[in-house]
Chain A
């Protein structure tokens, strides 16, 4: 097999033996009299000088240690209260939410993707939480925000934020994934990095009152109630149908995310949390819950977020985000610094329960090893996995495959296509492949 694979993937032209780039030759000439220059001239230091070329080192040691920098010898800055809210280091500005060029025409009905390639653990920093707006976002005065519960209830009620925040609350960690996450991968590879292939997923701790608490308080009709409709207060007044079992199970009417109030672009001051279900159901700026006995066929469950099947039908109300995983480092359009050891790391999640196991392959799915799961392992939450890998510098194809607590195994893209065709946009949870080329660059490929 490895012969077949390398035939196909060994497309990178290897450099001739003893090759040095013109820049490298110039470096070597300049440094001839130095310690490293001597090593280079002898041909022994090529590899050492490349991936880590910035670590120029004199014979007696490294400047970073031997010469004391300003931050060690000077006075530091005053408490960081310029605007009273801390920000990431200026060295971290590359990790940002970004749009995918050409994906949407209007910024108010658009997406910004979470930079999964640079995140750690399972919690998404609130400022990097992905965004999806249908009609722009608002920063609503919380003292004027109201939640109404109406329909098949004994008491149609109105709650202020004061009322809601006095109720018994829960804090739970859950992932939220847009139903269209990884949509581009239904067809051919179109986007370079994990930010754009998988960045419409985030994971946070949400705090709020259980929806079941509110429905009990309002005396919902246990015999007749089959569904609830959740509705937003913004211009789009997003509406989604949720079945009553789900509503009474683990849905949260949430005001907080990661220890502070929700960010405005994520629904401040109130949003619905529907664990395991696609993000469109997590209605932002939540203003109304209606208890009913029929599905509502709202725009986003009758025109969008429906699965186009090969026979021309559409599956409606397919909201579960099934088991999925992706390697975040190394991932698309990253470049490895050198051969040798890597801690391959990634994320796994399931809308049906918790992650039981993640396997990783470095040979395009021929052989698999089980990864280490880093705690915590929580239901309907991101789970971090790691696995050791020593790269020999030859082309390799990295994949991860998650298995959840129901025993469901994350499928390959051809298995998904065999059932659902290629016209679908939503609910693409296939195994992702990253090709590591001999030049160290990683690229998005489809291998199954």
Chain B
């Protein structure tokens, strides 16, 4: 206690002596919690301080060629993003929609109203800073095994993407030495605007409305409403509302009633039963082992949906043992060419539980 007191007194004197720095910092240093925590070691800071800024502060030295990147891409990235970064199957496309003129001008023409040359906005159309691509691949990719690429692999994969967008030639090697030159060719490098009023809490905003109270000017047209075919697209809304109170959820499994309120049958109140907990355990396994990165419960992603697998093997006597084996060993050919990796980490009992869940209908 005594030594802490001494230390903080010294700190006050020191900070007061050094400069007329703010009073707040002197106060904090005298605060009784001042020494909570400990100093970080330089190895710890190095391990976690991985961010790379637009001015390339934080970028580690290294290099990777387009062809080295392509090799990594085919194994670790293409199943989600497509061989050319063009795929819309799992995530929005990375590459497409930019031109040689965009690279020259630093503005992507296709982002202007009515000028798009691609079905949807791609990453490369939007991103202004090459540091962003490098930083994100390094910190968060591959999707189911983030931070497993080496520094040179990150350079290579970045180079491969840049070559697909024709920002660099196909024989290019990207490195910390030449990345600033590449930045000067980013197609949308001049496309970002910093609009301070929507960054500062005390800003004024950009859209003005006035609080008219009586006979306000309106256009009495319903400009848009939910199409009839979408009535049930989010499930039965009767099951998404309380069964008491001033309102019920509409029964969206049926068309809207034609009779005025109060003349037809009362809206039926339905209570949905809670899902059985056994399924939750299996779904936890599917998530923990990244199965759901490639297989949707109700839809195909990279591999078939669990519902599709369930339908294919429905009623087959050996389905459970067959699927247990397939889950462990992986393979390709049954559902397409993209291979499913072997799942050696999965316990046999867990593989069996997943197989049983699929055979039981995958619900």
In the bound complex, CA of A5 to CA of B220 (Å):
5
* Residues of chain B contacted by A297 (CB below 8 angstroms): 53-54, 128-129, 131-132
A-B CB proximity, top 7 nearest: A440-B261, A216-B28, A312-B112, A318-B198, A312-B111, A15-B259, A299-B136
B150 at the interface (CB under 8 A from A): no
26 contacts between A and B (CB under 8 A): A15-B264, A47-B262, A90-B274, A93-B273, A94-B243, A100-B234, A105-B296, A106-B91, A107-B287, A108-B293, A158-B40, A189-B226, A246-B201, A276-B201, A294-B53, A299-B132, A314-B193, A319-B198, A333-B249, A336-B246, A337-B247, A339-B262, A393-B261, A414-B219, A440-B257, A446-B225
* Residues of chain A contacted by B199 (CB below 8 angstroms): 243, 317-320
Task: Determine how close the nearest CB of chain B comes to the CB of A34; give it in whole angstroms.
Answer: 17
Instruction: Please give me the residue from chain B that is nearest to A440 by CB atom.
Output: B261
The 0/1 profile, CB within 8 Å of B marked 1, for residues 277-319 of chain A is 1000000000110101011111100110011111111111111
B31 at the interface (CB under 8 A from A): yes
Stretch at the interface among B64-72, B139-147, B155-163, B164-172: B139-147
Stretch at the interface among B207-215, B318-326, B339-347: B207-215
B126 at the interface (CB under 8 A from A): yes
Task: Determine how close the nearest CB of chain A comes to the CB of B338; give it in whole angstroms.
Answer: 15
- A367's contact among B37, B195, B216, B247, by CB below 8 Å, is which? B216
Most B CB contacts (10 A, CB to CB) among A13, A168, A192, A196 go to: A192
- A296's contact among B51, B201, B235, B261, by CB below 8 Å, is which? B51
In the bound complex, CA of A239 to CA of B140 (Å):
11
B350 at the interface (CB under 8 A from A): no
Task: Determine how close the nearest CB of chain B comes to the CB of A386; give it in whole angstroms.
Answer: 12
In the bound complex, CA of A296 to CA of B51 (Å):
8
Q: Are A106 and B90 in contact (CB under 8 A)?
A: yes
* Residues of chain B contacted by A366 (CB below 8 angstroms): 215-216, 218, 220
Instruction: Please give me the residue from chain A that is nearest to B21 by CB atom.
Output: A222
Q: Are A416 and B247 in contact (CB under 8 A)?
A: no
Q: Are B240 and A115 in contact (CB under 8 A)?
A: yes
Q: Are A427 and B112 in contact (CB under 8 A)?
A: no
A94-B191 contact given A47-B262, A189-B224, A190-B230, CB 8 Å threshold: no
Instruction: Please give me the residue from chain B that is nearest to A109 by CB atom.
Output: B91
Instruction: Please give me the residue from chain A that is nearest to B203 by CB atom.
Output: A320
A9 at the interface (CB under 8 A from B): yes
B86 at the interface (CB under 8 A from A): no
A195-B240 contact given A229-B51, A318-B195, A334-B248, CB 8 Å threshold: yes
* Residues of chain B contacted by A95 (CB below 8 angstroms): 240-242
The 0/1 profile, CB within 8 Å of A marked 1, for residues 252-270 of chain B is 1000111111111111001
* Residues of chain A contacted by B260 (CB below 8 angstroms): 12, 14-15, 393, 438-440
Stretch at the interface among B41-49, B307-315, B328-336, B352-360: B41-49
* Residues of chain A contacted by B216 (CB below 8 angstroms): 365-368
The 0/1 profile, CB within 8 Å of B marked 1, for residues 405-448 of chain A is 01011111011101111010001000000010111111111111
Instruction: Please give me the residue from chain B that is nearest to A395 by CB atom.
Output: B222
A302-B132, A421-B113, A439-B259 known, 11 other contacts, Cβ within 8 Å: A14-B260, A15-B258, A94-B271, A95-B240, A157-B37, A217-B28, A246-B201, A277-B201, A288-B48, A322-B205, A441-B257
A117 at the interface (CB under 8 A from B): yes
A38 at the interface (CB under 8 A from B): no
- A335's contact among B205, B230, B249, B299, by CB below 8 Å, is which? B249
Stretch at the interface among A18-26, A71-79, A122-130, A254-262: A18-26
Instruction: Please give me the residue from chain B that is nearest to A118 by CB atom.
Output: B242
In the bound complex, CA of A287 to CA of B206 (Å):
35
Q: Are A316 and B261 in contact (CB under 8 A)?
A: no
Stretch at the interface among A50-58, A61-69, A170-178, A200-208: A50-58
A156-B45 contact given A108-B293, A298-B51, A312-B107, CB 8 Å threshold: yes
Q: Are B207 and A438 in contact (CB under 8 A)?
A: no
Task: Determine how close the nearest CB of chain A comes to the CB of B42; give it in whole angstroms.
Answer: 9
Q: Are A50 and B264 in contact (CB under 8 A)?
A: yes
Q: Are B240 and A148 in contact (CB under 8 A)?
A: no
- B48's contact among A46, A148, A364, A406, by CB below 8 Å, is which? A148
* Residues of chain B contacted by A299 (CB below 8 angstroms): 132, 135-136, 140
Q: Are B259 and A334 in contact (CB under 8 A)?
A: no
The 0/1 profile, CB within 8 Å of B marked 1, for residues 347-362 of chain A is 0000110000101000
In the bound complex, CA of A98 to CA of B198 (Å):
30
Q: Are A445 and B224 in contact (CB under 8 A)?
A: yes
The 0/1 profile, CB within 8 Å of A marked 1, for residues 281-303 of chain B is 00000010000110011010100
Q: Are B127 and A302 in contact (CB under 8 A)?
A: yes
* Residues of chain A contacted by B244 (CB below 8 angstroms): 91
